[in-house]
Amino acid sequence: MKLTPAQQAEFAEQGYLFLPSVFSPEEMALVTGELPKIFSETRDEVIREKGSASPRTAFFVQAWNPVFAMLARHPRLVEPGTQLLGSDKLYMHQFKVNAKAAFDGAVWQWHQDYATWYNDDDMPTAQAMNIALFLAEANEFNGPLMFIPKSHREGRLAAGHDTVTTSYPLWTADNDTITRLVAEGGIVAPKGPAGSMLLFHGNLVHASGSNLTPWSRWILYLSLNRCDNAIRRFKRPNWIANRDFTPIEMLPDDCLAAFARERHTAAA
Ligand code: SIN
Ligand code: MN
């Protein structure tokens, strides 16, 4: 899926791009049908909310689930990344599903992802980004992702190490910085149905509140990095900061539908 010049210009200006309903309800049914199985697994990659059995994050799911393996190579997710990062050779730096579970989903503090990629993984430049796919509706109540538009233009901000709030230590921005940036850029929280996509710059400041609703807010994140910008420090596990820098080879656009058909035939 190719972005238009106008969409690329909007991304450069705002630091993010929202694309509603890119995947069909049938495709999303196949994907979300896998989630109960994924979140019920007991393994290092599946992190729970503090003091609760509710899932917070499932990491590196593409390595242990065949449907998510297709999403890691899906052209609607990966090709816009090649355009925005200016390279055909991208690898998966991180791959995760954030559950933000009904009633239990807790906050993510204000941060830039590149602060963590730089401080923890020694990623040379911010030429890396997130491609988010809504696996459930994100609405104003269930802890949608919040962005400070244009904050990516600040470059990498000073950050403190939050080892308490998140499912893994995260480098977060302080309240004075957020107050200044919000005074300039405001806050947006793009909302839409499952199958919608959010693309955002590695330096865009973002956060999300808790989820007190009965509606889980599942989001898949592909953190794509240029192969020539690979990380140089390997202190985090491979499943949280991938060390395989092989370029992603994209699958056909109809891979999910083809998989669903094959599964249906095999079951008949
Ligand atoms: C993140 O910033 O990595 C996650 C934020 C969210 O899923 O709400
Ligand atoms: Mn983040």
Q: Residue 116 sits in a domain of what CATH number?
A: 2.60.120.620
For 142, the 3-state DSSP assignment is coil
Mind listing the pLDDT tens digit for each residue in 190-245?
999 999 999 999 999 999 999 999 999 999 999 999 999 999 999 999 999 999 99
CA–centroid distance, 201 to ligand 2, in Å, is 10
Quote the domain boundaries for residue 212. Answer: 5-267
Question: Which ligand is closest in space to the CA of residue 171?
Answer: 2
* pLDDT given for residue 143 in this prediction: 98
68 lines ligand 1 (CB under 6 A): no
208 lines ligand 1 (CB under 6 A): yes
C-alpha dihedral sign at 163, 151, 186, 22: negative
Helices vs strands, H then E, count in the chain: 8, 12
Compute the distance between CA of residue 174 and CA of residue 160 in angstroms, rounded to an integer.
Answer: 7
Euclidean distance between CA atoms 130 and 244, whole angstroms:
18
Q: In angstroms, rounded to a whole number, what is the distance separating the alpha carbons of residues 253 and 20?
A: 17
Predicted pLDDT of residue 167: 67
Query: From the alpha carbon of 96, which atom of ligand 1 is closest?
Result: 3
Spacing, Cα 28 to ligand 2 middle (Å): 23
Pocket test for ligand 1, best of 95, 98, 200 (most atoms within 8 A of CB): 98
Distance 57 CA to ligand 1 centre (A): 9
Residue 31 three-state SS: helix
Please state, in angstroms and rounded to a whole number, the distance separating the CA atoms of residues 187 and 24.
Answer: 28
Closest by Cα among 223, 219, 249 to 236: 223
For atom 1 of ligand 1, which residue has the closest CA?
Answer: 108
98 Cβ inside 6 Å of ligand 1: yes
pTM: 0.97
DSSP state of 170: E
Name the residue among 111, 156, 137 with its Cα closest to residue 214. Answer: 137
Give residue 154 CA to ligand 1 midpoint distance, Å.
Answer: 20
**206: Cβ below 6 Å to ligand 1?**
yes
pLDDT at 162: 83
Q: What is the mean pLDDT of each run of 10 residues along the chain (268 residues)?
A: 97 98 98 97 95 95 98 98 98 98 95 96 98 98 98 90 77 93 98 98 98 98 98 97 98 97 90
**Number of structural domains the chain divides into:** 1
Report yes or no: 75 and 224 within 8 Å, Cβ to Cβ: no
Residue 112 CA to ligand 2 center (angstroms) comes to 6
Q: pLDDT value at position 43?
A: 96
- The answer to whether the CB of 250 falls within 8 A of the CB of 78 is yes
CA distances from 193 to 132, 139, 169, 209, 230 (A): 13, 8, 30, 19, 33
Strands 128-134 and 90-98: unpaired
